[in-house]
Every structure is written in C-alpha cells, then in structure tokens.
A and B are shown apart, each in its own frame.
Chain A
Amino acid sequence: MSAAARPREADSAARKAPVPAADRWGERRAPVRNAIVLVASLFALWQIAYWIVGDVALRSPWQTLRYTALTLTHTHLFWIHLANTLEAFALALLIAVVVGLLIGFALGLHRLSGEAMEPMLVALYSIPKITLYPILLLAFGLGMSAKVAFGAIHGIIPVALFTLNALRGIKPILLKTGRVLKLDSTMMIRSILFPAAVPEIFTGLRVGFSLTLIGTVLGEMFAAQHGLGYLLMNAIGLYNIDVIMSVTFLLVVFAAVVNAVLLGIDRRLHFRG
C-alpha cells in the first residue's frame, strides 16, 4: 500500500481503538433493550385498552396471564386441542418445506421455468387462500388431512419463491468454478448451489413457518372439531372472553418467540455469507 493510505488506516484504527469493549457491548445489548422496551410498551397499550374498553370485551394482561397459567392449562381439554393443532402444524410444515424446496429447486435450476412460474407463484401468494378451503374440505373431508393440506399450501409458496430466488441470485463465478471442476449435477447441488443458497432458503423457511401456522389455525377456525382455532371460535359462541384472550395470547407469543429465534439464526447466516 502507498504511504498516503497508511495514515488513514491508522486514523480509523485510532478512532475505533479507545472504546472498543464498552461500545461493542452496547451495540450487542441494543437489540435486547429494544425488545424489552417494545414488549413493555405493548403490555402498557394492552392495559390502557383494557381500562378504556372494560370487562365487557377485554381482560387485562394480568388477568389473562393468571387465567392462562391457573385455569386454561389445568383443563385436560386444552391439552388435547393443543396437541391436535401442533400435530397438524408439524405435518403441514414438513410438507410445505419438502414440497417448497422441490419446487424451488426444480424452477431455480431451469431458467425458463423459473421466469415463467415466478409471477404465477407471486399471484397465487396474493390470493386470499381461505376461499380455497371449502375445496380442500370437499376433497379431504372434515378433519386432520384438510387442515394439514390448508396449512401446507400457505407455506409451500414462500419456501418455493425464496428458494427459486436464492438459486437465481448465486454468483456466476461459483457456478463457473463448479463447471471448471467438472462436478456432476448432484455434486453441484450438494457442494455449491445448496451452501450458497442456504441463507436465502432459511429466510423462506422462516416465512413459511409463520404462514403455515396461520394457515393451520385459520383452517381450524372455519371448520374443525379440534384444535386451538376451534377453541377460539367455540369461545365466541359461548362469549368466553377469558378463553379468547388466553388462546390469542398463547398463539401470538408462540409465533413471536419462534420467529425471533429463527430471525436470529437468519441474520447470522446472512452475515456470514
């Protein structure tokens, strides 16, 4: 390097040097602090809403927590519904991930197919899929399989779309390297395409996770005899606000916590790439 560049380097090093430990600490703590402030404000808003609306239609955060911990989770029926939802969700997620990855890879490896199908997938993504639920119900009958299918169709499209775009966004030099090394297509996928596309694919899985959960619960809300969605709709019929608040709270917390964890992994993967 030339002499002119050296002072600048030294300068920037000096600027960074004096407060590295404390500064980095603060930076790392900032997201945690933000999250705490955010959660606290959301609880405060909830409490204020309760003060305004009153007992007719809402419960306070404290009442909801107490009901969830002391009453809801002590009923046998709740655990049956929860197990049912989790089973449907797990199956739906498995199908969504496998089928989504297969579609994404098939379209990502063939350029014309990718270009033609991407706008169609985006269009499918934007339709209110709930209107397709009656078709699934007629095809699968009322029960587990319709719910699983409905959850899966919510998740398949984002997983496929993100995978497709991940493969398309791979740097050409990586592909050329693979070709120079004369890799066959399985080796190419295993040692070049997949590792290079992992961060984006993971983002797709994260989005797919959320949407599959929404799809599964939504399916239960419209037509089911088991599951948390059914519990919610049943509670409306019985005007049981405690149950509505508790189940909604549990669903939101579950979705938010899992998403936060996945988001952390997601960011780390992207950062590494």
Chain B
Amino acid sequence: MRVAGTTPGDHANAAPKTAQRARGTRAWAVTLYQVAVIMGFVVVLEVLCLTGVIDKITMPPPHRIVVDFVKLLASGKMWPEIGKSMANVLLAFVLAYALGIGIGTALHGYRTLRDTLDPLFATYYAIPVFAFYPLFIVMFGLGDGPQVLIGVLLGVVAVIVTTLNGLDRVPAVLRKTAAIARLGPLQTALRVTLPFCAPYLLTAAKLALAYAFIGVIGSEFIMARTGMGYEIGFAYTNFDNATMYPLILLILLLSVGMNGLLTRWEKILLARRGMR
C-alpha cells in the first residue's frame, strides 16, 4: 500500500517548484551520464583501433564506420534491402499485434482456457523459436513467409500476455457501465476496455516491434537470399567490413530509435493518466 506523501508525485503537489527543479537537475544528470557512457565507449573503441590493439580486419575505427555509413546510404545500393527488411518487420509487427490483441481480448472471458494456456505462456519464451526456422524453410520454402512467421511467433505471446494483464486491471464499474449501456462484447472491448488498457497496449506494441525486428533480421541472417540480415552475413563471409559495420550500426540505430519513440509516447500517456 502506498502512503500519501511518499511518492514523488505527491511531493510535487506539496512543493511544486523545488521538487520540479530537483527532478530537472536529476534528469540532466541522468542524460549527462548516458551521453558520457556512450562517448566514453566510442572513444575507447577509437583509441583501441587506432593503436592497433583491435586490428583492422576485426573492426575499423568508429569514425571510419560513420564515414562508410554515410557512403553506403548515399550510394543507394542498400535501399532495396533495407526496404525489404523493414516491410517484413512491419508486416510481422502488424500481424503479431493484431492477432495478440484479438486473442488476448477473446481469451479474457474464459477462465478455464486461460488457466490451461498459462503454463504455455510462462514457458513460451524459454523455447528457442529460431530452432523452428529450418522446419519452416522446409515447409514454406526460402522466402519471406518463414521470416515473418518467426517474427509473429516471437511477438504474439508477449502481446497476448500484456493485453490480458491490462484487461485484468479494468475496474468492474467500467464493465458495469458498458453492460448498462447494453454494449455487446465487441463494442465493450472496442469502446471501453481496450481504450482503458492503452498504456498496456503501447507496451505490447514495443515488445511486438522488438520481436518482429529480432525475428526477421535474425532469420535473414541465418538463411535467406535478401534483406539487411542477409547482407550482413554476406559481408561477413567476404571480409567486407566497409559494408558490414555500417549495416550493423544502421540496425542498432533503427531498433533503438523506434523503441525510444514508443517509450516516449508511453511515458506521455502514463503521465497524462497520473500513473507515473
């Protein structure tokens, strides 16, 4: 149980200015810390590369990677691969998200079914889903299908579990109101319960996106004929560091960037509801 006056929010109400200022300095300190860590990491890498502790075949110095990155994007030869990978990531994300929310909402009412599936949900992320990739290639051929399927399989359960979690927290009064307004199950879900769960659905989106990325790029990397993951593997086998490192950087930037955007949105949503 939370006691009034112990949360930062309550303090802000009591003494808005000092608390806000304190929080502002803290946020600055955190940002500064993060920038320092990243800069320190890059500088250490740069020094290690330039002094030859890390040899050129292993890794070019960071400034070289940035130059190659700009060159690679400017040359335009990677854009079709990037587009292809991103289209598959997007497809896997949308499928996992829609399926997950649909299944989660449908499942919420059925206690026994949920209890039965509970061990599956609890064990699911221990299962190496990538181990199914060879099987899917044999079943569906070496195309986009298996890659998207891996992305969907990785993401869908996280979305289901998060949706169920959110629906569990819907206050009974909202369901009663919906019943009084004579809304059907679908209307109740679309107009009352799911909007209430918006913060949870955003968390689910974040997870689904991360898993779609991991699934698609990972599958391309293991075995494929196109896509960014495939190009990284190809560059690796050809000792083509001028292509490999910029592509790795691009994937890191894309996944961290998208994740960051959703996190920011999540924070705004939570703040608006006074949950954080």
Interface set of A (CB-CB < 8 Å, partner B): 30-31, 34-35, 37-38, 42, 53, 57-58, 112-113, 115-117, 119-120, 122-123, 126-135, 137-139, 207, 209-210, 213-214, 217-218, 221-222, 229, 232-233, 235-236, 239, 241, 244-245, 247-248, 251-252, 255-256, 258-260, 263
Contacts and interface: CB of A to CB of B under 8 A. Distances in A.
Interface in B217-276: 217-218, 221-223, 229, 232-233, 235-236, 244, 247-248, 251-252, 255-256, 259-260, 263
A31 B252 CA distance: 41
A81 B59 CA distance: 31
Interface of B: 26, 29-30, 33-34, 37, 54, 57-59, 115-120, 122-123, 125-128, 130-135, 137-139, 206, 210, 213-214, 217-218, 221-223, 229, 232-233, 235-236, 244, 247-248, 251-252, 255-256, 259-260, 263
Contacts of B118: 34
Nearest to A58: B139
Contact of A117 (B37, B137, B251, B255): B37
B112 to A, nearest CB: 9
B221 A222 contact: yes
Contacts of A135: 58-59, 248
Contacts of A222: 221-222, 233
A210 B217 CA distance: 20
Nearest to B128: A214
Contacts of A132: 248
Given A120-B34, A138-B59, A126 B221 contact: no
B217 A38 contact: no
Nearest to B139: A57
Contact of B256 (A34, A35, A127): A127
B62 to A, nearest CB: 13
A236 B123 CA distance: 27
B138 A239 contact: yes
A233 B222 contact: yes
Contacts of B247: 131
Contact of B214 (A117, A130, A217, A229): A130
A168 to B, nearest CB: 14
A128 B58 CA distance: 20
Nearest to A120: B34
Given A38-B116, A127-B214, A241-B138, 15 more contacts: A34-B118, A57-B138, A112-B33, A119-B263, A123-B259, A127-B213, A130-B229, A131-B221, A132-B248, A137-B236, A139-B58, A210-B127, A218-B222, A232-B131, A256-B123
A120 to B, nearest CB: 6
Nearest to B57: A138
A122 to B, nearest CB: 8
B222 A38 contact: no
Contacts of A115: 26, 30, 33
A236 B34 contact: no
A38 B117 contact: yes
The 9 closest A-B CB pairs, nearest first, are A259-B126, A116-B33, A210-B126, A126-B210, A134-B236, A57-B139, A128-B214, A128-B217, A130-B218
Nearest to A130: B218
Contacts of B58: 135, 138-139
B210 to A, nearest CB: 4
A244 B117 CA distance: 26
B70 to A, nearest CB: 19
